[in-house]
Structure formats: C-alpha cells, structure tokens
Amino acid sequence: MHITDLKCAILGGSPVVRITTDAGIEGYGQAEHFKPYLKPHVLFYRDYILGQDPTDVERVMLRIRRLGSFKPWGSAVSAIEMALWDIAGKAAGVPVYKLLGGKVRDKVRVYNGAARFPLAGQEPEQYADNMARMAEAKEGFSIIKQGIGFHSRMPDELPDFSYGERLAVHHQTERGLLTERGLKHVVACVEAMKEVLGDEIGLALDCGPGWTVPDAIRLAKALEGLHILWLEDLISGDYTPYVLAEQYREVTRSTSTPIHTGEQIYLRQNFKALFEMQAVNIVGPDPADIGGLAELKWVAEYADLHGILMAPHGTGDGLIGLAALVQVAATLPRNYIAFEYPVGRPVWWYDIIDGLPDPIVENSFITVWDRPGLGVTLNKNAARQYLAAEDKNFFT
C-alpha cells in the first residue's frame, strides 16, 4: 500500500487532513478549530510522504517530524500522524488502540474544558454561577477546568490587577507581578467555585501563562487547603515556544498544590527536563500538538517512570480529535487522570461524523469503541455543503 495524496480542507475552522492510498483506504486527522491558517503548513508535507507505505507510521513520521515545532506549528505534523494511524487500523481491521499496545482500560475518563457557558463577569459570584451550570451538565463531569488569572478576562476587567503592561494581543501574552488586590481576587474566585463543587466534583485551574515565580508560589500556597486538582500553565504554556522547567521546579517544590503544564510542547525531547528535574506533578500534552498519538503514548510512559501524572489537553481538537484521544487514552499507563473533552464546533460537526456513541459521555466516561482505525467516519455527502469553493475537490 502506498500514499497517493495528502489533502487538507477547512471545516468550521478546523484543518482536516485526508490521506488516500492505492488500496482505496483513506485516513483522516484534525487540528484544533482555532487554527484555520494551518492549511498550507499541512500541504507543505505532501511531497515528503507521497509513495510511502502509510502503515509504516514511524518511518513516514521520520520524514516530517523534524520539520514541526511548538504549538501551533506541530499541529500539521500531528494531524497527519492521526490520519496514518487511521489508515493502519483500517488496513489491519483493528482499532488504533490495538496498534498502540492494547487497552489498559475499557472506559476513559474525560474532564470538562470545552462544554462551557459564557461568564457573566469576573466577580466571585459570577464564577460560582458559571461553575454551578457546568456541574449540571448532562455529561456528569467529575472534573471541571476553569480559566483564571492571565487565562481569563480578569486582567482586562479588574482595575490594577497586575503591575504588568497590557499588550491587548490574543493568545495570553500578558505577564507581570500581581497586585495584592489582584491575587486576593483570584483566590476569592477559586473559593467561590469550590464552595459550589464541594468534594463531589474536582476543580482544575487554567492559569496563564504569565505568572511570575513568586506569584505562582503565593497562589499555590494560598489554595493548598482547597484540594485543587492542578494549576495549569502558570509560567509557560499555551502558545509559548519554550518550557522553563527550572522555574516550574521552584514552584512545584514550594507547594503541595499539583502543578501542571505541557499543552504547547512538541515532541518527547522537550518534556525531558520537566521529568528529569521533577519540575511538575502533571503534564497535559495534546495529541494534536505533540506530534501525534504515538508521541503522546511515549511521553506518558516516560512520565510514569518519573512519577508524573497525565491529563492530556484537547479542548479544540474536534470530533476526529476526540476519536483519536479515546484511542490513545485507552492505552496509557496508570498515571492517566483524564483528557480534556473536545466538542464539535460548529454544532453541525455532529451531523457530518458517523460512529460516535449517543450519548458520547456518561458519568464523565467514554466507553472505548472497537471499530477499525479511529472508529469514526467523515460523512462525505453531509460534509460537502460546508466546504469552501477552494476545497471542493477535497473528497475526489
């Protein structure tokens, strides 16, 4: 079997990869719906993989892996890798999890990072109201993540939140020492959310990046009595193309509150310092950014050797990305906590994907399905109406 073409179309903001073969088997991958600009980056790799055997996934990836980078640029490589595993599973007649070592679990826990409601404001009572709405979600999430600090509108809406300059640029570019008022406000909002959730639903916090080390330590220590599941991306993360493991180590050593990072990191080599320095307690690589499913599995095993937990990112990965997350999460070692549940955006994505269970999530778990490949199918007839004119030949 050989690869005959690599195509990419934008469906509802998501770059969708389609790889075709001379055996008539095709595979699909998906990048986050925040990244429609990635299409030319995906197509850049076309000539590198044409004629290759798609079932030799690692051999194909060796041709392109070195040409990716930290989020967002590793997404193109990652989506291609997903599509290769989809083909390999279909060719073998088995689900992808069988090719990644087999199941460790029959159900995978997910946490709520994407099934959300708009916040009415940045006051503690508004955070509490928002958390109450999410706690009632039909999925029965056992963990909910909420953005605070530099990963929220607090710096914009709270006067004198920090001493840093406001850049007013997307992707959380803010950074600075918090004022006493700012830090107290963050803590009050967290306390209000915990009051709603009690000990029945775990609370995780997406914090930045942008915190200074002293503020990160102050926040972590102030929250120690609340049993927060983790503080995510305090120092670096999201769209920062570096790790700063030594700064994370200082924070982690100073508190019993678990510290988490990793969604932006591309490839296993860039997790090495975090693990060997015991710089964090939890990592959250995204299969659509790290370099794909096998790369995430490798990092999970290496993390487990160092006593570090896994809570993979995935908020914008879409429904093909959801299928990929289910497959790889089924195979991860017992350091796995839960992955961040992505939703279909726009909602018509649920009309163009076949194979998802209904309901998808029950009591915070997804039952791992056994269909070949990723186990979901892009319905071509239903999807065609959503293709732009430039993508009209995507399915031919």
What pLDDT is recorded for position 170?
A: 72
Average pLDDT, the chain: 97
Q: Give residue-wise pLDDT tens across range 21-77.
A: 999 999 999 999 999 999 999 999 999 999 999 999 999 999 999 999 999 999 999
Banded pLDDT at 188 (limits 50, 70, 90):
very high
Q: What is the dihedral of CA 190, 193, 199, 202, to 10 degrees?
A: -80
CATH for the 3-93+379-391 domain, from 2.60.40.10, 3.30.1130.10, 3.30.390.10, 1.10.10.10: 3.30.390.10
Q: Report helix, strand or coil for 246.
A: helix
Tokens of 374: 């990723």
pLDDT tens, 269-303? 999 999 999 999 999 999 999 999 999 999 999 99
**Per-residue confidence at 139, pLDDT binned at 50, 70, 90?**
very high
Confidence check: pLDDT of 368 > 90? yes
Provide the pLDDT for residue 164.
83
User: Does the pLDDT value for residue 175 go beyond 90?
Assistant: no
Q: What is the largest CA-CA distance in the chain?
A: 64
In sequence order, what DSSP letters do the residues of 88-153 get, joined into one string? HHHHHTSBHHHHTT--S-SEEEEEESSS----S-SSHHHHHHHHHHHHT-TT--SEEEEE-GGGSS
pLDDT at residue 172, as a whole number: 62
- pLDDT band per the 50, 70, 90 thresholds, residue 171: low
Q: Report the pLDDT value the prediction gives residue 92, as an integer from 0 to 100.
A: 98
Does the model's pTM come out above 0.95? yes
CA-based end-to-end distance of the chain? 19
The predicted pLDDT at position 321 comes to: 98
- Amino acid letter, 170: H
CATH topology of domain 98-374: TIM Barrel (3.20.20)
Angle between helices 75-92 and 293-305 (to 10 degrees): 100
pLDDT confidence bin for 213, thresholds 50/70/90: very high
- Span 209-233, average pLDDT: 98
Task: Find the mean pLDDT for residues 315-344.
Answer: 98
The predicted structure's pLDDT at residue 217? 98
Q: How confident is the model at residue 169 (pLDDT cuts 50, 70, 90)?
A: confident
Domain ranges of the chain: 3-93+379-391, 98-374
Whether 211 shows a pLDDT value over 90: the answer reads yes
pLDDT, average across residues 101-108: 98
Q: Compute CA distances 387 → 5, 17, 45, whole Å.
A: 18, 13, 22
pLDDT in tens, 301-313: 999 999 999 999 9
Cα–Cα distance between 57 and 20 in angstroms, integer? 14
Mean pLDDT over 209-232 rounds to 98
